Amino acid sequence: MASGSCLCGEVRFAFDGEASVQLCHATRCQKATGSAFAAEIAVAPERFRWLAGEELVQTWTAPLLERPPAYQRSLCRVCGGPTPLLHPEVPWVGILAGSLDEAGGVRATHHAFLDQRAQWLSEGEDGLPRYGMRPPRP
Ligand SMILES: [Zn+2]
């Protein structure tokens, strides 16, 4: 089991089983996180559960660039920290790995959208597969 929380701790969640973390360098993920990449986890909804504060989660939708689903982020209304995103149009829960308190069976697996890598980020090598765009489906 893995579990996490927002900055203030009012929103808490958990999920069962293993999960992979995509390190996504897409421009929108840089904007949404204020960082070089978003460390993203996608978990099937039946493996996910809120432990507290679900009512404090606010979801923001970005203007659609190409095709649905639109880019979305969920934040805690109290602290503005990232929270899990239950997207109505896709069959998974999106979680930023930085919000985890207990990582359980969660491991980083690859970099994605490196063609949009931040200009200030050096070309690091961490042994993970690297994709310029969206990685191939497993
Ligand atoms: Zn919070």
Expressed as residue numbers, the domain containing 41 is 2-116
Domain membership flag for residue 129: no
- Quick one: average pLDDT of 57-71? 85
Domain membership flag for residue 65: yes
Q: How far apart are CA 83 and CA 63, in angstroms?
A: 20
Q: Which two tokens stand for residue 71?
A: 């880019």
Which has the closest alpha carbon to 26: 36, 16, 17, 18?
36
Categorize the per-residue pLDDT at 138 as very low, low, confident or very high, splitting at 50, 70 and 90.
low
Global pTM reads 0.91
Question: How much distance in Å is there from the Cα of 95 to the middle of ligand 1?
Answer: 15
The domain total for the chain is: 1
Range list of H helices, 1-138: 27-33
Model pLDDT for residues 70-103, shown as the tens digit of each residue: 889 999 999 999 999 998 778 899 999 999 999 9
Which has the closest alpha carbon to 30: 43, 42, 40, 20?
40
Domain membership flag for residue 102: yes
Question: How much distance in Å is there from the Cα of 79 to the middle of ligand 1?
Answer: 4
Domain membership flag for residue 122: no
Partnered with residue 73 across adjacent β-strands are: 60
- Quick one: average pLDDT of 1-16? 98
Question: How much distance in Å is there from the Cα of 33 to the middle of ligand 1?
Answer: 15
Question: How much distance in Å is there from the Cα of 9 to the middle of ligand 1?
Answer: 5
CATH number at residue 40: 2.170.150.70
